[in-house]
Amino acid sequence: MLTYLSVLLMAGFAIFMAMMALFMSSLFRPSNPYTGKLSPWECGMEPVGEADKGHFRVHFFIIAILFIVFDVETLYLFPWAVILADKSIATIAFVEMFIFIVILGVGLVYAWGKGALDWV
């Protein structure tokens, strides 16, 4: 327990400072609510219609998820390239990363076949 005392003290100090910042801002901030300030605002335009009647296209979320997947793939490719300099495990690392890229490629072909990448 004593080995984690410094971590607990640091976490407690961070929580205390965050709570003090929130408390001090609630004391000193001006309170001036009015209808213009409390109305929803998006892209510098007044909202038109009801928010619950609009439909969001799921396609944009699918594209975002695919971007994140392939962005994370590049994070795995960089250490792989560094490991290839070590000749003792270069072959194993190459085979493992090739399998990883093939799995991601199969996922990309599947998403493409399902029409997830079509903009229409």
- Class for the domain spanning 57-120: mainly alpha
**Average pLDDT for 16-28:** 95
DSSP state of 45: B
pLDDT at 64 over 80: yes
Cα gap 116→69, rounded to integer Å = 14
Confidence of residue 71 (pLDDT cuts 50, 70, 90): confident
**Average pLDDT for 82-111:** 83
Residue 85: exposure state from Cβ atoms within 10 A (0-12, 13-18, ≥19): exposed
Percent of the chain with pLDDT over 90: 22
pLDDT at 103 over 70: yes
| pTM for this entry | 0.45
Q: 47 CB contacts (<8 Å, ≥6 apart)?
A: 39, 40, 41
* CA-CA-CA-CA torsion sign (22, 25, 26, 27): positive
**Average pLDDT for 97-103:** 88
